[in-house]
Structure 1
Amino acid sequence: MLYGHGDDGYRYDRQIIADFSTNVWYGGEPVGLKEYVFGRWSQVNRYPEVVAESLREKIARHHQISAGQVLVCSGTTESIYLVAQLFTGKRTTIVTPSFSEYEDACQLFDHEITYLNWQDALEIPRLKTDLVFICSPNNPTGLLFQDLQYWLKLNPQCLFAVDEAFIDFTWERNSVISLMKKFPNLLIMRSLTKTYAIPGLRLGYVLAHKDIFSQLIRIKQPWTVNAMALAAGDFIFDHFESIQPPVSQLLEDKRTFVQELSKIEALQIYKSDTHFFLGRTMVRNAAQLKEYLVEKHGLLIRDACNFRGLTRQHFRLATQSPESNEKIVNALREWQKLYY
């Protein structure tokens, strides 16, 4: 799906004061990253590393795994399409509702797709598929998937592609990376664009068993990660401990934000394990709510109707600064007075 994602404020003539439609950390890139990247501008005069070899080594050391288990990509989207290509024509399960690119990538490579509702997936069923795409924390619900270890054990014939793009925005940050040593049927996709607010640079990576890595690298295109993105990756892993966003404060702000939103009778707010969450308007629909918030208040939300399994009433919000959160709470109270 080329269109229909969040962060689409460019489509409006109205100035966007606060963007709740994107799950990217609102505080901007880490201090010093911009200067570091611009300082390596001369590298754009030459081709970048073919498969980001030096950054791959840094990521491997960070996670204490072999470099032969790390594949650097141009954002998680490239990772998704590579995995789908590797399983061309195979049977795939997608746990829904979730990121549309799993489905789009599978359709492009002629997969036989089965859709499994999140609640049914929690029952840990036996699967008759070759590949599973699951997002944890899930986009758009923000929920963490529990008991993945048991599911991996129950289905050794199936590769589980787990998208952890938002794992840094949870209290415990309990990645399933530690399970890789025990389960060769586990592949993890990580993003560097959300936590460090650089989605325009496109940077992420795959962690997988060496056999899966060797298959993926055979089909990967060269030079997909540009020199500026590689520079950003170097900076991130060279300064990792000192550049982490204040996630604990963000999640505390989210708690307050949700408490205020839950007082608005015209809305239903859903539980989430991260900084973003689903809501549902009890009047009109999410598209109309989105237009109202943009035109009247300069506030942007994510219309979530195009997530498989959701309705025209569903929308997604990502926690912003306390001041911005207060603005949209007041705007939504006004929405309730007008239409509820």
Structure 2
Amino acid sequence: MRTEGREPDLRHHGDAEVRDDGSALVDLAVNVRADTPPRWLREEIAGSLSSLAAYPDGRAARAAVAERHGLPVERVLLTAGAAEAFVLLARALKVRQPVVVHPQFTEPEAALRDAGHTVGRVLLRAQDGFRLDPAAVPEDADLVVIGNPTNPTSVLHPAETIVRLARAGRTLVVDEAFMDAVPGERESLAGRTDVPGLVVLRSLTKTWGLAGLRIGYVLASAEIVAELARAQPLWPVSTPALAAAQACVAPRALAEAGHAAHRIAGDRAHLVAGLVSFAGLGVRVVQPAQGPFVLVRIPDAAGVRRRLRDLGYAVRRGDTFPGLGVEWVRVAVRDRATVNAFLEALSAALIPPAGPPAPAS
């Protein structure tokens, strides 16, 4: 399926909302966790700088990721963020009928297009809560990409629903970039070896605030990992990023991420409750939200976004995601004080300023 009308800008991402005047805006457009990276992680990364004269050696970080998920190292590939993994998949795998399940992160489709593929779209519907129906995916699709929890809808699909997409001769790519923000990482497929063609992507940039460092990884069969590795340049992950990867999968970091996931869930509930209070003004929230962001439908969303910027807040426009229109915005979850101030600004932004008084007759 294809969206109708103007094609979305697949290369528009949340950072564009704050790139030019971000210092003047409270950022609810980018999904990186606030107040990160923590001090201990900065110190781990800084400690790696004395090794910069040597070429990066990813063996220890790769082994640490493998141990974290209970997998052999041959099933792990470290990448310069999850975005690199999408490029590798698009270039290295021999596929004929790739399909991307939308709305979701747009980089997988952009990478496939750049590699010369014609990409099919399965558009999940708002009236269905953007839930996945495996039967909607064409049977002849030999590469299927889906996010879980999905950016921007914040829908967490049941793992077994996603597994129903797997079949012989198909590569099933599940983007779990935000799964560590889900308490208990329920519905994760990371570590599963019984699903044919499964590729799970993980990012360490969201929870740990490492978007500028670029670190993520792929979990897949040894054969797929080897194919992707052949498409990588030499030394694709820097020494500081390798140090970060090793630190972020250690028991201390996993415990901290678990606590953060529970805190995010509470802050998200507070944000959703505040947004729902504007239902009388036409505001609708996609629920249940399970990621560190929520998708919101707002009448005159473009005007509301402009007025929010004037009030000092940036949110993510939704019309660059296939399957969404100009009435959608994505809002990142922040602490309650920030959310309360944002909700106050939103209350003002939802009501357009009155025009000039009509001339007297």
Is the shorter-chain TM-score for this pair beyond 0.5, marking a shared fold? yes
Name 2:237's counterpart in structure 1: 225
Separation in 1 of the partners of 2:165 and 2:254?
A: 33
Is the partner of 1:246 in helix, strand or coil?
A: helix
Among residues 316, 319, 326, which one is paired with 1:305 in the alignment? 319
Deviation of the 1:16 alpha carbon: 3.3
After TM superposition, the structure 1 = structure 2 runs for residues 66-215 of structure 1, keeping only pairs within 5 Å, are 66-88=72-94, 90-119=96-125, 122-125=132-135, 127-146=139-158, 147-152=161-166, 155-174=167-186, 175-178=188-191, 180-215=192-227
Deviation of the 1:221 alpha carbon: 1.2
Separation in 2 of the partners of 1:158 and 1:112?
A: 16
| Count of residue pairs brought into register by the alignment | 332
- 8 Å CA contact 2:264–2:333 kept in 1: the answer is yes
Name 1:276's counterpart in structure 2: 293
Is the partner of 1:77 in helix, strand or coil?
A: helix
Q: For structure 1, which runs of at least 5 residues remain unmatched after alignment?
A: none
Superposition TM-score, scaled by structure 1 size:
0.91
Among residues 247, 268, 274, which one is paired with 1:260 in the alignment? 274
Separation in 1 of the partners of 2:175 and 2:22?
A: 34
- 8 Å CA contact 2:11–2:110 kept in 1: the answer is no
Superposition TM-score, scaled by structure 2 size:
0.86
Separation in 1 of the partners of 2:31 and 2:22?
A: 21
Q: Does 1:326 align with 2:340?
A: yes
Deviation of the 1:2 alpha carbon: 8.1
- 8 Å CA contact 2:26–2:313 kept in 1: the answer is yes
Is the partner of 2:225 in helix, strand or coil?
A: helix
Deviation of the 1:242 alpha carbon: 4.2
- 8 Å CA contact 2:65–2:246 kept in 1: the answer is no
Residues 110-134 of structure 1: CA deviation (Å, up to 9, x unaligned): 2231111235973322520110111
Name 1:28's counterpart in structure 2: 36
Change (3 A) 1:327 1:64: same
- 8 Å CA contact 2:18–2:27 kept in 1: the answer is no
- Letter of the 1:312 partner, please give it: V
Separation in 1 of the partners of 2:44 and 2:131?
A: 44
Residues 269-325 of structure 1: CA deviation (Å, up to 9, x unaligned): 21122221111221x233x33232122x22111011110111011110011011110
Root-mean-square deviation (CA, aligned residues, Å) is: 2.1
Separation in 1 of the partners of 2:88 and 2:24?
A: 34
Is the partner of 2:206 in helix, strand or coil?
A: coil
After TM superposition, the structure 1 = structure 2 runs for residues 53-72 of structure 1, keeping only pairs within 5 Å, are 53-72=59-78
Change (3 A) 1:323 1:122: same
Residues 221-273 of structure 1: CA deviation (Å, up to 9, x unaligned): 11121111111112223333443252212211111211111111242221122
Is the partner of 1:190 in helix, strand or coil?
A: strand
Name 2:3's counterpart in structure 1: none
Change (3 A) 1:14 1:227: closer
